[in-house]
Amino acid sequence: MELSLFTVSIIIATGFLAGIINTLAGGGSNLTLPALMLTGMPADVANATNRVGVFLQCLVGIKGYKKHQKIDSTDVLPILLPSLLGGGIGAILAAVLPTTYLKPLLLGTMISVAFIILVFPTVIAPPDGTPTYRVNERPQAWLALFFAGIYGGFVQAGVGFLLITAMAGTLRYDLVRSNALKLICTVAFTFVALVIFILDDLVLWLPGLLLAAGTMTGAAIAVKISLNVSQKVMKWFLFLMTLAASAAAMFL
């Protein structure tokens, strides 16, 4: 695929913004998917190619949060298992189902998460001092992570909102730790999805790696931002991003 300098700039710039948005909240793929499709990619190819940027962006974010001791290694495996299982199922569904399912699924998910943040804000941002739980102590957490994995494997866009809702709502993590663990889940099922898409020959590597250059830079900056803002600010940023994702879904 030949790309003009303008197209390269757009892909990297949208990747940069998406890297920040995805690391702090979610929904950055609502920028990158249209940007990739503007190059002439079909929706399924754009959906697959987008995973390159998402995968590498998550690795950068995880490294940043681990450096600042925001990831408890004992939480990782129990959270990964349901996410990986769901991600594999979702990726298979994405490969065989028509793309007409993307819009209603994305729109319904974003509206639901926005409603929870607005009406039940303590679900997303637990008050200081709230005790946290392990996955084996909360069966509903396993189910929430499993269904978030299916969604993420299928459509990717907006999965961060579901993962944060699962972490904060069922396990009661604060938003910084929820974001850190969200990236671990995302990198896991994105890897599974990416392998499936590669085997299906749906990934275009040049635009995918250009996108990744932007998302990785954005993720590194976003980690530093998240460590220096309040839970309240993070919560309202999350709410605004769900509204933006809902609006974007209307035009997919």
Question: Per-residue DSSP letters for 91-110?
Answer: HHHHHHS-GGGHHHHHHHHH
Query: What are the tokens at 151?
Result: 């969604």
Model confidence pTM above 0.85:
no
**Could you read off the pLDDT tens digit of each residue along the chain, which spans 252 residues?**
678 888 899 999 999 999 998 888 877 887 898 889 988 899 889 989 999 999 999 999 999 999 998 887 888 889 999 988 887 888 788 778 776 766 777 777 778 888 887 788 777 778 877 888 888 888 899 999 998 888 877 776 677 888 888 888 889 988 888 889 989 988 887 888 899 899 999 999 999 999 999 999 999 999 999 898 887 888 888 888 887 777 766 665
Are 172 and 164 spatial neighbours (Cβ–Cβ below 8 Å)? no
Measured CA distances, 111 to 5, 11, 86, 151 (Å): 36, 27, 22, 15
